[in-house]
Structure 1
Amino acid sequence: MNDVTDIAVTVEAPAGPVVGRRTGPVQRFLGIPYAQPPTGVRRFAAPVRRGRFPEPFDATRHGPTSQRVPLFPTTTVPEPSVPGDDILNLSVLAPAPVPPYDHAPFPVLVWIHGGGFLAGSPASPWYDGRSFARDGVVCVTVGYRLGVDGFAPLDDVPTNLGLRDLLLALDWVRENIGAFGGDPGRVTVAGQSAGGAAVLALLSSPAASGLFQRAVSLSGGLFDGDGDAARDFVERLGERVGVPPTRAGFGSRTVEQLQAAVVALRDELGADILPLGPITGDDILPVPVADGLARHGHDVPVLLGATGDEFDCGAAPENPHPSPYTLAELTAARAAGTRVTDTLFRAACPRVAAARRGADAGTWLYSFEWPSPVLGGAAHCVDIPFFFDLLDAPGCAEALGPYPPVELASATHADLVGFVHGREPGWARATGGPGDPAREYGRPGAAIVADTTGVFDPVVQVVQAASGVVGAC
């Protein structure tokens, strides 16, 4: 029987009829609104659930994105901005039903994009879930409010609006994903960079209880704060755009104006990587994320890790952001654990494992070590096409070079798919102590996949560096 290559398909969901496209074995439903557009009086308000669609909703193209202004002129991940007001939308990629149509519901992966809580796009071709659909997983990508609109601490404005958006999206998934073939009782929430940090924040939040059953954080961190630094930044931002730093003041400026001003001010001040982000002390994050992880989510298995070099890559000829340090300096810093990579990203992995030490569900660590010949190391974001098994996606050759290892993509993707399907990872659990076990992907000179210890332990790395084992960016 010949497979139909491209036809319209309609799903009758509790949210209403949704029209997408089937291409071969994959069904795509793009840009489905899960909340009312956050405009007018709803702009700086908690998200409002979308009513049932009165007519079939056309879900054949990506919906509007929160991002209007990219964080950098050139980003590793292709991040298209899509105009429009309906930015609180999500996309569903699902396996196409095949005879005899009697399969059990598929597990669900809900993906949260990165971008420093300031930018990023769920419409990126790097987040296309076709390989997950191929392997029996329904993949959902979510848009949420960013920057000032999503995370600025303002008087008379609910805090953590971006996280509130994600909570409502997860609630939409619970109510509707069954219509797309997904199992609402087997949801894995996952994300990378700020998306990975959002996963950890949700895992620590009492408000997210029961909305997902597994969690994956790629290059996430513990980036929450009490809001003081963000308030200082917001004060300066108000001065820059000529309005008081209030709901009314910022409401008089467009999203584009505010996002452009945030990028310019961040560059001017040399601000921390995340001038705006999750804030603790409210109903969503009552306590710091690390403390919340010790209290909540103990029934949720967690997989997390980081790339070997994140933002500390070497001076490869094509790297648009080469490191100012020499190879010897980077080698010594990596061994000592003093790089930005170590303090912001890699150190979060044992901290999370330690916070969850009493959890019934396990915590597993990984380290992605394959060095991109373009970027001069295992850089921030280069692991995404491997975990998604999308080495042919637009922008991959520019970031990974012409010959990224296919077998590495097969291995990393298979581990993630197995985790989403509910299988326990094939390496030992972590406890946050020295010499914790981890899965290591793509280290030069080693097997594509290796189970190892001490990956996140600088003392062990010092010994390895002295013996010439640890390579720099």
Structure 2
Amino acid sequence: MTTTESRTAPDTDGPDGPVVRTASGAVRGLREQGLSVFRGIPFAAPPVGPDRFQAPRPPRPWDGVREAYAFGPPPPQEAGLLSRAKLPAAPGDEWLTVNVWTPDPDPSAARPVMVWLYGGAFKVGHGGQPGYDAQHLAREGDAVLVSFNYRLGMEGFAHWTGAPANRGLLDQVAALEWVQENITAFGGDPAQVTVFGESAGAGCIASLLAMPRARGLFRRAIAQSVPGTFFSADLARDIATALAAEAGSPPAAADLAALDPRRLTEAGTALGTKMLRHTGRWGQVAPTAVPFAPVVDGEILPTTPWAALASGAARDVDLLVGHNRDEFRLFMVMGGLSDKITDETAAGTLRLYAPGGQAGEAAYRAAFPEADAEGLFERVQTDWLFGQPSLRLAEAQRTGGGRAHVYELTWPAPSTIGRLGACHGLDIPLLFGTFGADLGGLLFPDGKPTPEAERLSSFIQSAWTAYARTGDPGWPVYDTEERLVQVLDAEPVVAPYPQEESRRIWEGYDFAPLPLLR
């Protein structure tokens, strides 16, 4: 609920921008291109010292007016796909901060609220990345946009002894509680909150849909490219033991808390290069080089999102979910794998990831007779990692009595760095209109959109913001008879789900927590 304090009218604009009173203290933002923007507002106390590796605690109140001009410091993290070694040099340890873009901080405005959760393999990313500049969406949808930081990697997702699992998810719950308590003062309606996110961010949203602690904190959810990689508690503990060994420590929070965060991120990077050695124990996760994921611990995350939604856990939440046609091509191009996949490699990959092992390999070869080794290698990993988990989440929501809308992005990136097609992450610059930032700079030559890209971007922005306002993105609800989805291409059309061959192969597959192999 929103406090009486946060419902009070904003103070008169100061010399540098509008002032809004939150439950923890007053903040001053900036007026930028017709919006009021507030950056770096703490939603929780710094998770350091005795609070390190623990659930987030309430933010420390402050006196006077705090300047909310700059993004808070990113949480400790690895360099990542886009070489984020040079992160913004914000001082301090206030990793858990929130940012707000609003047309007008008028408590009576009651605008829809959209809360962004960034992706990055659960180990990189922050709310202040240029690619997530929310100004276009805030203006397009006349909405209040929110982004925030949550703990990553060793700090947020490694399963330590003496620490709660899924601390990154608990940070997200704390941020959404902050939204409920404070967003009215920024002109938002706490009863009209939509969470949206991509990749790991979509995996977090799927988790929030399944978490009892998150119920009632949002009304709608948009999940873009949901990963199917959720860890069992046994697998997560085994990986955590290996992570701690890389850092020269037992896998216990009390021991690890004394180590510099940089030492832990270095340990995460080091283990990522060695994960293939653990295929016999870690199975499908070993080739991913990603040792982090939400943990189905039976408490914070009681079960997988697919099982939770099928049982009706989120039937009162509207869901929009989808994926890109060629998700895995990004990782192939960035990893230098294009034109290097042999039939032997493709066969091994099909047996590892397709349902049923050898039977799955045969099913893929029969369903895609014209595909070469590289095409099969890419197709099965696109399906296993993002495509079919996303579709099955919509089907689980329908089974549980809820509503879901589905999309597939098929428009190919105009990039000149390789055959990327409609690859992973292409939806981000299209959604935010940030064609020259982060991944957009790789997908769009010189960071400039083509006319087709501009039209498609406008379509996506309108659909997403309309959904946040009304629950209707402009196309039919998904069902298991017609299976109609919005195909996002140069000319967007509503059509039956395009990847019917893949859907049939994966029909009935249980996206269970990834196990520890004995």
TM-score, structure 2 normalization: 0.80
After superposition, the Cα gap between the structure-2 partners of 1:394 and 1:221, relative to the gap in structure 1 and judged at 3 Å, is closer
Distance 1:190 1:122 in 2: 13
Match of 2:34 among 7, 20, 25: 25
What amino acid maps onto 2:51 in structure 1? Answer: R
Aligned to 2:117: 112
Q: Quote how far apart the aligned CAs of 1:399 are.
A: 2.4
Provide the rounded CA distance (Å) in 1 between the counterparts of 2:326 and 2:88. 26
State the superposition RMSD in angstroms. Answer: 2.7
1:275 aligns with 2:288: no
Structure 1 position 45 matched with structure 2 position 54: yes
Q: CA deviation at 1:434?
A: 7.2
State whether structure 2 residue 408 is matched by structure 1 residue 367. yes
What is the match of residue 393 of structure 2? Answer: 352
Name the residue aligned to 2:68: 59
Cα distance change, pair 79–382 in 1 and its aligned pair in 2 (3 A): farther
Deviation at 1:232, TM superposition (A): 1.7
More helix by share: 2
What amino acid is the match of 2:491? I
Instruction: State whether residues 121 and 143 of structure 1, in contact with CA within 8 Å, keep that contact through their aligned partners in structure 2.
Output: yes
Aligned partners of 2:116 and 2:197 also within 8 Å: yes
The 10-residue stretch of structure 1 (109-118 or 9-18) with the greater mean CA deviation from structure 2: 9-18
Match of 2:461 among 397, 406, 413: 413
Deviation of 1:288 after TM superposition, in Å, equals: 2.1
Tell me, what secondary structure is at the counterpart of 2:227?
coil
Measured in 2, the distance between the counterparts of 1:73 and 1:7 equals 34
Query: Among residues 18, 26, 35, which one is paired with 1:9 in the alignment?
Result: 18
**Structure 1 CA distance for aligned equivalents of residues 254 and 197 of structure 2:** 32
Q: Which residue of structure 2 aligns with residue 163 of structure 1?
A: 169
Q: For the structure 1 residues 298 and 102, does the alpha-carbon distance in structure 2 shift closer, same or farther, using more than 3 Å as the test?
A: closer
Question: SS of 1:57's equivalent?
Answer: strand
Shift of 1:356: 1.3
Given candidates 87, 94, 98, the residue that maps to 1:90 is: 98
What SS does the corresponding residue of 2:307 show, helix, strand or coil?
helix
After alignment, is 214-223 or 272-281 more displaced? 272-281
Q: Quick check: 216-225 or 114-123, which moved more?
A: 216-225
Task: Tell whether 2:293 aligns with 1:285.
Answer: no
Number of the residue aligned with 2:488 = 441
Query: 2: CA distance between counterparts of 1:397 and 1:237?
Result: 33
Q: Which residue of 1 aligns with 2:474?
A: 426
Q: 1:202 and 2:208 equivalent? A: yes
Distance 2:449 2:305 in 1: 39
Partner of 2:428: 384
Contact 2:328 2:423 in 1 (8 A): yes
Q: Distance in 2 between matches of 1:361 and 1:242?
A: 47
Q: Which runs of 5+ in 1 are unaligned?
A: 463-473
Post-superposition offset of 1:300: 0.8
Equivalent residue runs for 1:67-466 within 5 Å: 67-72=76-81, 74=83, 82-96=90-104, 104-135=109-140, 136-270=142-276, 271-273=286-288, 274-294=290-310, 295-313=312-330, 321-323=336-338, 324-325=340-341, 328-329=371-372, 332-333=375-376, 338-374=379-415, 375-376=418-419, 377-393=421-437, 396-401=440-445, 402-404=448-450, 405-431=453-479, 433=480, 436-442=483-489, 447-458=490-501
Structure 2 CA distance, aligned partners of 1:233 and 1:455? 37
Counterpart CA distance in 1 for 2:82 and 2:379 is 28
Closer/same/farther in 2, CA of residues 403 and 353 from structure 1, 3 Å limit: closer
**TM-score normalised by the chain length of structure 1:** 0.87
Worse overlay, 397-406 or 226-235 = 397-406
CA contact (8 A) 2:77 2:123 kept: no
Q: Secondary structure at the match of 2:232?
A: coil
1:356 and 1:106 map into 2 onto residues whose CA distance is 27
Q: Deviations over 1:300-344 (max 9, x none)?
A: 11011111111225987xx6645334995268528xx94211111
| Contact map agreement 1:11 1:17 (CA 8 A) in 2 | yes
For 2:326, the aligned partner's letter is D
Question: Secondary structure at 2:203's aligned position in 1?
Answer: helix
| Contact 1:78/1:394 (<8 A) preserved | no
Residues 459 and 52 of structure 1: CA distance in aligned 2, closer, same or farther (over 3 Å): closer
Contact 1:307–1:379 (CA<8 Å) still a contact in 2? yes
The residue aligned with 2:352 is none
Gaps of 5+ in 2: 1-12, 277-285, 343-369, 506-518
Kindly state the Cα deviation for residue 238 of structure 1 after the two structures are TM-superposed.
2.1
Letter in 2 for 1:229: L
Stretch moving more, 350-359 or 208-217: 350-359
CA distance in 2, matches of 1:18, 1:460: 49
Change (3 A) 1:121 1:227: same
Aligned mates of 2:402, 2:463 — CA distance in 1: 17
Shift of 1:277: 1.7
Mapped contact 1:313–1:322 kept (Cα < 8 A): no
Q: 1:278 to 1:413 in 2, by over 3 A?
A: same
Residue identity in the other structure for 2:306: A
Offset from partner CA, 1:330-366 (integer Å, 9 cap, x none): 68528xx942111110011221122112445410111
Tell me how far apart the structure 2 counterparts of residues 81 and 435 of structure 1 sit (CA, whole Å).
Answer: 51
Percentage identity across paired residues of the two chains: 32
Measure how far apart 1:102 and its partner are: 9.4
CA contact (8 A) 1:152 1:234 kept: yes
1: CA distance, partners of 2:92 / 2:107:
39
Alpha-carbon spacing, 1:391–1:103, altered in 2? closer, same or farther (3 Å): farther
Give the conservation status (yes or no) of the 8 Å contact 1:437–1:454. yes
Q: Distance in 1 between the 2:101 and 2:336 partners?
A: 34
Q: Contact 2:250/2:256 (CA < 8 Å) preserved in 1?
A: yes
